[in-house]
Structure 1
Amino acid sequence: GNCASIICQWSSGVVERLRNVSVPDVADSEVSCVVMESCILPCSFQGGTDVVIHWIQVTAGNLPVHSFYHNQDQLGHQDQRFRDRTSLFKDQISEGNTSLQLTGVKVQDQGRYKCHTSVIRGNKDSFINLKLDAPVDQVDLQQVDNRITCSSEGIYPEPELTWSTSPPSSLNLQHKTTKQKTEQLLYNIRSYLILSDSDLGYSCTVSTRRNRKRATLWRLCEYYLSVEFGSGAAEKPVQTGHQEPDPH
């Protein structure tokens, strides 16, 4: 038949719901941030003058992240990996805000941090667990003859990749998937599948704990001009090699 291939792509975010539970002050704070973005590690004390602040990355071997005393930053002992990436909210320190802003966060920044604050009337240690994600940004599908290749890059933590058909079928989808870790500790994932029925749509879904994205290869023959998706909403077909914007 005189058929053409198109690729459609859409995504769905995973909504995180936090239970409203009371926790003691000694519990670690949990912070989730996205790789290469800015991140704020929260910390506070009762306020006062002549405050001493030390931020330490505990899990990496108590690395000095940022220090502040004598009313100014003290970065002489700062570990090199944090150079030019840390700052405090100096106009709010006297009011008790000792939160740390970390820019360009990397997977290596993940872990447990200690915020030590000291004033004349006493000391306080707070602990923050930083969890990082690099969401699935794009899923690429390519077809050569009867072989489809699905790939996605720059993901954290380790992603999962699954194949499916539209409509669902009992076909055993023979595929091979490989994962590669980059120097930045991000994951690239690739899988290929041999087409066994050209009348089906073949979908590749790449997912992590934060989000998932899916791309589908459709085989459209003459006069079949639109595609209906499971939601009932028609989406515009896209030529091979192009990608639809994510729906909101």
Structure 2
Amino acid sequence: MTICFAYFCNMLDPKMYLSNFVFISVLLMIADGFTLRGPSGPLVAPLGSSVVLPCSVDELLSVESLEVEWRRTDPETLVHLYQDGESRAESQQQDYQDRAHFFTDQIQHGNFSLRLDNLRAEDKGEYTCRVYSQQESGETVVQIKDVERLLVSSSDRSISASVGEDVTLNCSVDSHIPPGDLEVSWKKTVEDIQVLLYQDNEAHSSNERYIDRVELFPAEIPKGNFSLRLKSVRTEDKGVYMCQVFAGDLSANATVTVEQMGFSVSHIMVLILCIAASGSALLLCCLIYCRSQNEGVFLKLCFTS
């Protein structure tokens, strides 16, 4: 209202009229700016994938003096910068070099979106797109709500087991999904036998060969540890086992090899004792036989004399 009053009051003065007109024009340009369009909601993308952070404007802006700035807001980090008609990769924070890219040929059409490659778990957070064009500016916020990840790992080394012993087959799961919402299947791959299935927070085995011989470690499951304990190992247990994990459309697996089946120390000791006992028994039989033979000869000599 004050601006309008000053404007009409000074209409009779050409110099004052011109200065007020310029002032009002600049003020309106700064106040209005332009509206940037972002995504309709938070983004969710798989670990290691590429994700596009949308940022665009409907009206065409002058490329001259155009500046586009993408920043991570938590913490404040420069992700990428477009300035003086080109991408300024040298200005990027090191973590985003060679990973964050503009669609350079689309900038002149009002597309200031950013492509982020090789998505990492730590990329989760808020990003701000700020655009400056002459006296105008605008910004929009994009949130990467979650980075979907499902990583399954096991020991790189084969497991040496002996008949009758208990062994542990390692399987570790790293995921943004709570362990209780995962489905884990242990299989013996060559024979395609399901050894154990973890589903709906319960673990069970339906194969006769493994009933009462396999189990998980319940206290370790909340930590993502789905290792399998195989009890009283048999010779037919030798082979490759797969720990396969499912979470919606995601799945991942790791394998463990059980090899070098043989007798355990206790079995060997029993065998030695058996052999020793057999040897002792044989020796005793020989002594008894020899003694009986000697006694027979002695008695024969006595009767002949």
Per the normalisation by structure 1, the TM-score is 0.56
Partner of 1:31: 43
CA deviation string 1:47-72 (max 9, x = no partner) = 3223221101112x110100112111
State the Cα deviation string for residues 209-243 of structure 1 (Å, max 9, x = none). 652458999xxxxxxxxxxxxxxxxxxxxx979xx
Identify which of 69, 77, 87 aligns with 2:101. Answer: 87
Q: Show the counterpart of 1:164.
A: 204
CA distance in 1, matches of 2:118, 2:138: 28
* Structure 1 residue 138, shift from structure 2 partner: 7.3
Could you say which residue in structure 1 is the equivalent of 2:67?
A: 52
**What root-mean-square deviation, in Å, do the aligned CA atoms of Structure 1 and Structure 2 show?**
4.2
Instruction: Decide which of 133, 142, 166 is 2:148's aligned counterpart.
Output: 133
Q: How does 1:86-235 map to 2 (within 5 A)?
A: 86-120=100-134, 122-130=136-144, 131-136=146-151, 144=161, 145-147=165-167, 149-152=169-172, 155-157=174-176, 160=179, 162=198, 163-166=203-206, 174-176=215-217, 178=220, 189-195=225-231, 206-208=245-247, 211-212=250-251
- Aligned-pair identity in percent equals 19
| 1:208 CA drift (Å) | 4.2
Equivalent residue letter for 1:156: S
Q: Name the aligned partner's letter for residue 36 of structure 1.
A: G
Code of the residue aligned with 2:68 in structure 1: it is I
Alpha-carbon spacing, 1:151–1:52, altered in 2? closer, same or farther (3 Å): same
Structure 1 residues not aligned, in runs of 5+: 1-24, 181-186, 218-238, 242-248
Which deviates more from structure 2 when the two are superposed, residues 166-175 or residues 131-140?
Answer: 166-175
Per-residue deviation, 1:39: 2.4
Q: CA deviation at 1:112?
A: 1.1
How many correspondences in the alignment?
A: 186
CA-CA distance at 1:204 after TM superposition: 5.7
Mapping for residues 58-69 of structure 1, pairs under 5 Å:
58-59=73-74, 61-69=75-83
Q: CA contact under 8 A between 2:170 and 2:228: conserved in structure 1?
A: yes
Encode CA deviations 1:55-108: one digit per residue, 9 max, x unaligned: 01112x110100112111234542121122221011111111111112222212
Q: Judging changes above 3 Å, is the alpha-carbon distance between structure 1 residues 107 and 193 closer, same or farther for their aligned structure 2 residues? A: same
CA–CA separation in structure 1 for the residues paired with 2:48 and 2:243: 26
Contact kept, 8 Å, 1:157 with 1:208, in 2: the verdict is no
**Structure 1 counterpart of 2:85:** 71
Q: Whose helix proportion is higher, 1 or 2?
A: 2
Give the Cα separation in 2 of the matches to 1:88 and 1:33. 19
Q: 2:225 and 2:116 mapped to 1: Cα distance?
A: 28
Query: Partner letter of residue 62 of structure 2?
Result: T
Higher radius of gyration, 1 or 2: 2
SS of 2:82's equivalent in the other structure is: strand
**C-alpha separation in 1, matches of 2:50 and 2:100:** 10
Higher relative contact order (CA 8 A, sep 6+): 1
**Residue type of the alignment partner of 2:52:** I
Q: 1:77, 1:216 → 2: CA distance?
A: 43
For structure 2, the residue ranges without an aligned partner over 5 or more in a row are: 1-36, 185-197, 235-240, 260-305
Q: Which whole-Å CA distance do the structure 2 matches of 1:111 and 1:210 have between them?
A: 23
